[in-house]
Structure 1
Amino acid sequence: MQYQLGDAWVVVAEGEYDMHSVTPLADVLTSAAVEKTKVVLDTSGVTFADSSFLNLVILVHQTTTLRLAAPGPQVRRLLSVAGVDTVLHVRETVEDAAAS
């Protein structure tokens, strides 16, 4: 699901993301990054993410203003272990991410 919230374009991610399942999300985020100036990735529904997801997030972050919203413990741990939690813009809620 995707929708406009203020001046941000929100992409909702749900389920598991690995090398076999990340392509649809990659297509949506890549398209949004080209067309929008601020993209929010709602990660509240992500139950598993590996380096494929992390790579996608970093690539999109380099293309546009990307905010990660509402990450659960699994996504937070992935970001922390990779050392990108201080580089990426992570916010507690979608609303906070869209407003920042």
Structure 2
Amino acid sequence: MVVACGEFDADTVEPLERALGRAAAEGFAVVVLDVGAVTFADSGLLNLLVRTQRATTLRIAGSPPQLRRILELTGADQALHLYPSADDACADAL
């Protein structure tokens, strides 16, 4: 599980990108990303989510309203695996 906190845009997404890349490289069948504490997101985070989904099975947990809105507007909510909570995402991965 990777936990994201704070604001994410093209200039600040790199640490999260490294963490998700490490998780995918470790060969885990599923990577859960808890985004419940994300306070701002733009296309930088959206692009990272899509790229990570291509590398591994990504489960996104606890999307706050602003992030969910971006995902819905772009149609990414149809391509990504979204869960109400990290517990739900982890339970589905078992």
Which TM-score band applies after superposition, normalised by the shorter structure?
over 0.9
Runs of 4+ residues deviating >3 angstroms: none
Bigger fraction of residues in helix = 2
Q: Does 1:71 align with 2:59?
A: no
| TM-score normalised by the chain length of structure 2 | 0.94
Can you give the 5+ residue segments of structure 1 that lack an aligned partner in the other structure? 1-9
CA RMSD of aligned residues (A): 0.6
Distance (Å, rounded) in 2 between the aligned partners of 1:40 and 1:87: 15
Q: Which residue of 2 aligns with 1:43?
A: 35
Q: Which residue of 1 aligns with 2:90?
A: 98
Partner SS, residue 85 of structure 1: helix
- State the AA in 1 paired with 2:47: N
Can you give the 5+ residue segments of structure 2 that lack an aligned partner in the other structure? none
Taking only the aligned residue pairs, the percentage that are identical comes to 47
| TM-score normalised by the chain length of structure 1 | 0.88
Once the two structures are TM-superposed, the CA of residue 38 in structure 1 deviates from its matched residue by: 0.7
Out of 1, 12, 17, which is 2:8 matched to? 17
